[in-house]
């Protein structure tokens, strides 16, 4: 007879990175702390020198590098990336600072089971240099958004947003650091919701949280 409760295996993930991997670290830390039920099957980077790979190794995670410079086209790269991910049979694919535009074919393959985190209050400032652009346009608030990935660059349905103030004297670096702190809170939370079966993408493309349509993202600061 079993004397202890059987542990449910965590939600299987593949995490894609290109750089520092601090969002990956937040997931690793959450799992180690016992409050994020995930099983990171692999960390994949398009750059061999991404520091996130070092974080993954320190946490004893499987790593793979697929260097985009070895491919002649975006389609060729994604055609190799998709089966590489699929070999790990993840329930959810996590883009964590993966700085690549994905082809529609790739996105379709992981429809409803791929998240991205973007450092702006989407739909404001899709694309690059979000912090500088927020400062330049005189925003008083900035932040980060977790969204399901669709073909639209940084445009998929948003599920969770965190806001921070833009302070006098901020430069892109100080603002990015303030936003990143929030990213490390909201990404694990959205994944926890997905793992618990509370968050999913409906057939019509609307995200549902506890069965309720999210026409606007949940505001983390108001939880
Ligand atoms: C994060 O700020 C993330 O939101 C951003 O890259 C950074 C990665 O940091 N992602 C994008 O800009 C995607 N469009 P990290 O490597 O330390 O997690």
Residue in this structure with the two tokens 């996590």, named with its chain if needed = 94
Cα torsion 25, 12, 45, 128: sign: negative
Give per-residue pLDDT as tens, 8-52: 679 999 999 999 999 999 999 999 999 999 999 999 999 999 999
Q: Which atom of ligand 1 is nearest to the CA of 116?
A: 13
Structural fold of domain 11-222: Rossmann fold (3.40.50)
Q: Do 144 and 161 contact (CB within 8 A), yes or no?
A: yes
Q: Cα-flanking dihedrals φ and ψ of residue 196, to 5°? A: -85, 0
**Residue (of 23, 205, 223) closest to 117 by Cα position:** 23
- β-bridge mates for residue 92, sequence order: 13
Report d(CA 219, CA 8) in Å as an integer: 29
Task: Give the Cα separation of 136 and 155 in Å (integer).
Answer: 22
Position in ligand 1 atom list of the atom nearest CA 126: 14
> What span, in angstroms and rounded, lies between the C-alpha atoms of 75 and 204?
26
Atom of ligand 1 nearest to the CA of 99: 13
Cα 20 to averaged position of ligand 1 atoms, centre (Å) = 8
Backbone angles phi, psi at 44, to 5 degrees: -115, 130
Residue with tokens 């379709």: 108
Is the bond into 42 cis (omega within 30 degrees of 0)? no
CA 45 to mean position of chain CA atoms: 14
- pLDDT score recorded for residue 153: 85
Question: Is 79 in contact with 66 (CB distance < 8 Å)?
Answer: no
- What is residue 7's predicted lDDT score, i.e. its pLDDT? 58
Q: Are 15 and 40 in contact (CB under 8 A)?
A: yes
- Active-site annotation holder among 4, 118, 131, 215: 118
User: Can you give the pTM of this predicted structure?
Assistant: 0.96
Whether 147 is catalytic is: no
Residue nearest to atom 10 of ligand 1 (CA): 97
Q: How far is CA 72 from CA 67, 79, 98, 202, 217, in A?
A: 11, 12, 19, 35, 37
- What residue ranges of the chain have pLDDT lower than 70? 1-8
Closest CA to 186 of 145, 129, 142: 145
Ligand 1 centroid to residue 154 C-alpha, Å: 12
CB neighbourhood size of 164 (10 A): 19
Judging by DSSP bridges, how do beta strands 212-213 and 114-118 pair with one another? unpaired
pLDDT value at residue 3: 42
What are the pocket residues of ligand 1 if the criterion is a CB atom closer than 6 Å to any ligand atom?
Answer: 17, 19-23, 52, 96-97, 117-119, 144, 154, 180, 183
Q: What is the dihedral of CA 44, 106, 191, 218, to 10 degrees?
A: 130
* Domain coordinates in residue numbering, the chain: 11-222
């Amino acid at each position: 007879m079993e004397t202890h409760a059987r542990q449910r295996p965590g939600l299987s993930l593949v995490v894609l990175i290109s750089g520092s991997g601090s969002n990956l670290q937040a997931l690793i830390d959450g799992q180690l702390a016992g409050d994020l039920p995930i099983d990171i099957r692999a960390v994949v980077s398009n750059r061999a020198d991404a520091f996130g790979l070092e974080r993954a190794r320190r946490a004893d995670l499987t790593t793979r590098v697929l260097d985009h410079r070895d491919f002649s086209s975006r389609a060729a790269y994604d055609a190799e990336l998709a089966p590489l991910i699929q070999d790990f049979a993840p329930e959810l694919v996590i883009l964590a600072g993966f700085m690549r535009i994905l082809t529609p074919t790739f996105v379709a393959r992981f429809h409803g089971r791929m998240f991205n985190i973007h450092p702006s209050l989407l739909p404001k400032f899709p694309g690059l240099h979000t912090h500088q652009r927020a400062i330049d346009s005189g925003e008083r608030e900035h932040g980060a958004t977790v969204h399901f990935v669709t073909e639209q660059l940084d445009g998929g349905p948003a599920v969770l947003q965190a806001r921070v103030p833009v302070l006098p004297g901020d430069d892109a670096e100080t603002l990015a650091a303030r936003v990143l702190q929030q990213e490390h809170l909201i990404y694990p939370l959205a994944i926890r919701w997905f793992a618990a079966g509370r968050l999913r993408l409906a057939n019509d493309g609307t995200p549902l949280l506890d069965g309720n349509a999210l026409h606007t993202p949940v505001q983390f600061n108001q939880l």
